[in-house]
Amino acid sequence: MLIPQLINGLTQGSLYALIAIGFVIIFGTMNLVTFAHGEVYMAGAFVGAFAMTLWHLPWFVALVMGMAAAWVLGFLIEKVAFRPLRTAGHMPPLLITIGLSIILKDLAVVLFGAENRPVPSIYEQTVRLAGVQVSVLQLVILGLAGSLFLVLRLLIQGTKIGRAMRATAQDHEAAYAMGVNVNRVFSIAFALASCLGGAAGVMIGIYYNAVYPTMGGTAGLKGFAACIFGGLTSIPGAILGGIIIGVVENLTVQFLASGYRDVVAFLVMVIVLVLRPQGLLGRKLRTV
């Protein structure tokens, strides 16, 4: 029973990781926390669900559409909520994102109704891998998350815009002086973070066969927790944090009771943070 639960945890954790990376990108480049990230994830999930149920599109098209919608939403949020307040300190943008999160959630209730919306299953078959029965869907999700991590890494480490993002994160005034359009970097960072959240949303919808307006609440919290757990500014840390939370949750469900799921996950996190306040892979002195 251990191996299947590990795989469940890994699958779930890789999706938390996608959400967590969004927090890292936004915090890393702009030094800001957004509380509307869970709702961007929810919006992506809904677009994906509609693409599959209303327009009968294949799941990967739904995925691309959900990611694109989240990209656009993130871009807009940065433009209307963050940019005008760039110099206003930390509190105003924080409050705005809390408001935005409530608005988006309520808007979803008004537009789509508060109840669960079913999402069709895909890849229901299982395969035997090294003597263990594994669901194909889980493999697809793991493969997808892995590919997104890889693409993101290539983007951030190997492209000009990625380099500009890192430079801006480290010293935005110096980057600006070198000729970087810092506003554009912030837009792209926010949109990119949102896009990954949207991908997680679509895949969660498919994984649990349902989307609903409040789904962003706990997911956003778990993603944020994973981001802090991993060290706030480290993408590998966020991935590790997400996976650990996912695995701990699933092992708790298996070996304790499903009611303890969130309690144990957050307990582990608190213990790690007490022992290692900078998070798993964070630096003591923040340089990114």
Partner 1 sequence: MLELRGVCTRYGPVQVLWEVSLTVGEGELVCLLGGNASGKSTTMKTILGLVHPVRGEVLFRGRPIHRDTPAQVVRAGIAPVLESRRIFPQLTVYENLLMGAYTRTDGPGIRQDIEAVYERFPLLRERRGQLGGTLSGGEQQMLAIARALLARPRLLVMDEPSMGLSPLFVEKTFEVIQDLNRQGIAILLVEQNANMALAIAHRGYVLQTGRIVLADTAQNLVNHPMMRKAYLEL
The residues that touch partner 1, with contacts defined as CB under 8 A, are 160, 163-164, 166-167, 170-171, 173-181, 287-288
CB of 153 to partner 1, least distance (A): 15
Considering the complex, what minimum distance in angstroms separates the CB of residue 276 from partner 1? 21
Q: How far is the CB of 178 from partner 1 (least distance, A)?
A: 5
In the bound state with partner 1, the residue whose beta carbon lies nearer, of 116 and 170, is 170
Task: Closer to partner 1 by CB, 180 or 251: give it.
Answer: 180
Cβ 221 vs Cβ 23: under 8 Å: no
CA 7 to each of CA 69, 200, 236, 269: distance values in angstroms, whole numbers, following the listed order: 29, 17, 19, 20
Residue number, 79 or 283, with CB nearest to partner 1: 283
Nearer CB in complex with partner 1: 129/174? 174
Contact yes or no for 109/213 (Cβ under 8 A): yes
CB atoms within 10 A of CB 87: 5
Could you give the CA distance from residue 158 to residue 165 in angstroms, rounded to a whole number?
11
CA angle 63–65–71, rounded 5-degree value: 105
CB nearer to partner 1: pick between 25 and 49 = 25
For residue 35, what are the contacts with CB-CB under 8 A and spacing of at least 6?
94, 97, 98, 100, 101, 220
Q: Which is nearer to partner 1, 159 or 218 (CB)?
A: 159
- 8 Å CB contact between 32 and 82: yes
Minimal distance, residue 285 CB to partner 1, in Å: 10
**Within 10 A of 275 (CB to CB), how many other CB atoms are there?**
7
Cβ atoms of 212 and 39 closer than 8 Å: no
Distance CA 51, CA 58 (A): 8
Beta bridge partners of 129: 132
Instruction: Give the nearest distance from C-beta 177 to partner 1 in angstroms.
Output: 5
> Which residues touch 261 (CB under 8 Å, ≥6 apart)?
249, 252, 253
Q: CB of residue 76 vs partner 1: minimum separation in angstroms?
A: 23
Nearer to partner 1, 85 or 288 (CB): 288
By beta-carbon proximity to partner 1, the closer residue of 18 and 167 is: 167
User: Residues for the chain: how many in total?
Assistant: 288
CB of 156 to partner 1, least distance (A): 12
Q: How far is the CB of 33 from partner 1 (least distance, A)?
A: 21
